[in-house]
Structure 1
Amino acid sequence: MILEYCRKSTVSILAGSLIFITPGAEAAGSLAGSKGDVRYPVYRAPGSTGGCGKHYRGYVAARGHSAYAMTPFNWSAEYTICGVSLNASSQQAAEAKALKSCESGRKQWKVSTAGPCSIAASK
């Protein structure tokens, strides 16, 4: 009789623990929706145009290793330039590609920025 009682309680405890463990295991497989390691806040000036907002939303939605690079925001600077790398093989590869993309934009547009490109966020 005691053995049956213990068996039923053990099964109940295991079933309850699986309910709490399963969502954590599922979330570990995807980075989608995560902002990752934010090194400084991503800010866009109100009324700004261009693809930086779209790129940042794509970065947050990306499922794999990704990075978002941009020039620092400063009210005295005319523009901010950004670069993104989505779903790379590693976090380091994503960061290198995002920096390269941002620097390429700086060379292409040749506008006044508050500083050089740096990684704003990566995951």
Structure 2
Amino acid sequence: MTAFELVHVALAANGGSPYAVPLESPDHDPVDLPEGAVLSVTLVFRVMEDLDGLTFEENRRYDGGVVTTRSALGGFRAGGPYELVLPAERLPVGHGSLGTYEVTGRFVDGDGREHARELHRFRIVPQTNKV
């Protein structure tokens, strides 16, 4: 039995309605997001055993570069579902930022054990297009 279950991931741009990101999508179809949007990510998960030092790590790949961010989530008792909203982030602006990004999210505990991994693709489009 696994100690962790990712239940739901949602994106909300500019305070708008959340968009549910399909989990385990075999096609990894990109989600269009407007350049410069302020993006919030909501994570919903359950834990089947107490976990200490849980961290969400995000690797963003674009045009040969990789940017990694880590968000310390803390310790969780067995149960849930737990819902966490990550700090809002402004997407890049400008012609050079447009295109498709591959994003891998991982949940890792304080002992370095990976509990879940998701891969998604996002396409930053000109501001005239809406989410």
Q: TM-score interval w.r.t. the shorter chain?
A: under 0.3
| Higher RCO, Cα 8 Å, sep 6+ | 2
Higher Rg of the two aligned structures: 1
- Higher strand residue share: 2
- Higher helix residue share: 1
